[in-house]
Chains A and B, each alone.
Chain A
Amino acid sequence: MFRNQYDTDVTTWSPAGRLFQVEYAMEAVKQGSVAIGLRSKTHIVLACVNKANSELSSHQRKIFKVDDHIGVAIAGLTADGRVLSRYMRSECINYGYTYESPLPVGRLVVQLADKAQVCTQRSWKRPYGVGLLVAGLDESGAHLYYNCPSGNYFEYQAFAIGSRSQAAKTYLERKFEKFTESSRDDLVKDALFAIRETLQGEKLTSHVCTVAVVGVGEAFNILDQETVQTLINEFEISGEEAPINESNVEQSGGDGDGAAPDQRGAAAEEGAAPMDI
């Protein structure tokens, strides 16, 4: 993506029919540290990598509880993510107050998407620079959604966003067919493995990542550091073993380029607007 004369305003179309400001917002998501989500029939696991700016500072919180049955992991501008989490919490509380029942996840993501769309059609606003992985349980089952700054949203069996997320996506693509019937613990294990893939050889410890679970009979909760470290040790995924696939290293290397790495799936047409993912 290069600088051009159509990218100053979100309300200016390019001749090719693209809104560059929105695409730049999606770039912000790709620059954030990784967040992944995966789901089975009864549980959803969210995990993210917590990189602190320096040894002196604390980690940024990237996973938020929205309600007992909904949680969200973010990648990109965490400040925008915090504001959107507050909005989601408020919507859940208001719905619960009026209807005395939990807000269906599908409804929440639509509201979120509509909110994001507004920012793509006002000259005095800018798109939110954060991607959200919304994990929730409602009467129709377990759901995992991805909300884009563009105002689009998609449902996924498993997904990863942020920098070096391609490595995690490759791992998930190999394993996702088994997720529906997975047990909760296997799902957490797969989440940790996927996180490990994105660390590119760096040691996986509970200091670097956060894991959260929501499922049938289990309210949304963030696992504490000790539990996560125990799981990492149990599954022996501290990263001291050889990576599962040598080819992962190549693909992870590709993510460092400026070219949109996340469109590898729809790779063929370079001109295709990335918002179509």
Chain B
Amino acid sequence: MPKEHANWSPYDNNGGTCVAIAGSDYCVIAADTRMSTGYSILTREYSKICKLADKSFMASSGFQADVKALQKVLSSRHLIYQHQHNKQMSCPAMAQLLSNTLYYKRFFPYYAFNVLGGLDSEGKGCVFTYDAVGSYERVGYSAQGSGATLITPFLDNQLKSPSPLLLPAKDAVTPLSETEAVDLVKTCFASATERDIYTGDSVEIIILNANGVRRETEQLRRD
């Protein structure tokens, strides 16, 4: 007798794209604001970016219910850390925590594709990219979500250092200035919106630097 299968799935994909770029003294984290299910749009104004600590922002695409739960767990863990250590978590520390939290549910994963962006303890931009079960790496830039396959080759063309063997990953912060990086991100989303049906409506951009946090929004095609 062929095995019976469930007629429902605990997961759904709400679509969307997330991007982050690390600079020498800034970090840009961006995500579109469209939330969809199947071929329908649930809302055009949903934020996929969450502030986990003063210098750590996480953008996540995938199943937003799991994303929300993940954000809550990490926020609570950060509160505990602050009580115990009397200070905010650094971005690399948060990166490890996120990885451990994801692997904790290795056998019923958070359906979340995350990009963590922030400033490390030296004030340099850092970006960490993850898979659904916590495998992560520090990189100079990353894209996740439905538009990632369209954006990543473009970022490779614009940002990738000539020889990855010469420059170790953590020094691969982009030589671009902050304004150039923000413009690059806007270009990425404008292009991805053209061809990916799950990306569009508007893009929320967070810019983190020594002076603090800045937020920008840019309208995208709504079709």
Contact = CB atoms under 8 A, between A and B. Distances in A.
| A, B co-complexed | yes
Interface in A78-130: 86, 89-90, 93-94, 96-97
Interface in B53-77: 72-73, 76
Nearest to A92: B79
Contacts of B80: 89-90, 93
A94 B77 CA distance: 11
Contacts of B83: 65, 86, 89
A89 B72 CA distance: 16
Most chain A CB within 10 A, of B72, B73, B83, is at B83
Q: Per DSSP, are chain B's interface residues mostly helix, strand or loop, or mixed?
A: helix
Contacts of B79: 89, 93
Contacts, number: 14
Interface string A41-82: 000000000000000000000000100000000000000000
Nearest to A100: B72
Nearest to B83: A89
Contacts of A86: 83
A95 B83 CA distance: 16
Contacts of A94: 76
Contacts of B73: 97
A94 B79 CA distance: 11
Contacts of A96: 76
Interface of A: prevailing SS: helix
A94 B73 CA distance: 10
Bin chain A's interface residue count: under 10
A85 to B, nearest CB: 8
A69 to B, nearest CB: 13
A70 to B, nearest CB: 12
B105 to A, nearest CB: 16
A165 to B, nearest CB: 27
Interface string A120-163: 00000000000000000000000000000000000000000000
Contacts of A93: 76, 79-80
Interface in A233-253: none
B72 to A, nearest CB: 6
A237 to B, nearest CB: 29
A29 to B, nearest CB: 24
B82 to A, nearest CB: 9
Contacts of A65: 83
Interface string A1-37: 0000000000000000000000000000000000000
A130 B178 CA distance: 54
B101 to A, nearest CB: 14
A89 B76 CA distance: 11
Choose among B72, B73, B79, B80 the residue with the greatest number of A CB atoms under 10 Å from its CB. Answer: B79
Interface string A172-216: 000000000000000000000000000000000000000000000
A179 to B, nearest CB: 29
Interface in B79-109: 79-80, 83
Nearest to B77: A93
B99 to A, nearest CB: 21
B150 to A, nearest CB: 35
Nearest to B86: A65
Interface in B14-54: none
Nearest to A85: B83
Nearest to A96: B76
A250 B79 CA distance: 47
Nearest to A67: B79
A96 B75 CA distance: 10
A69 B79 CA distance: 14
Contacts of B72: 97
A24 B76 CA distance: 37
B39 to A, nearest CB: 32
A95 B103 CA distance: 25
Interface of A: 65, 86, 89-90, 93-94, 96-97
Given A89-B79, A96-B76, 12 more contacts: A65-B83, A86-B83, A89-B80, A89-B83, A90-B80, A93-B76, A93-B79, A93-B80, A94-B76, A97-B72, A97-B73, A97-B76
A-B interface, 7 closest residue pairs, ranked by CB to CB distance from nearest: A93-B76, A89-B83, A97-B76, A93-B79, A97-B72, A93-B80, A65-B83
14 contacts: A65-B83, A86-B83, A89-B79, A89-B80, A89-B83, A90-B80, A93-B76, A93-B79, A93-B80, A94-B76, A96-B76, A97-B72, A97-B73, A97-B76
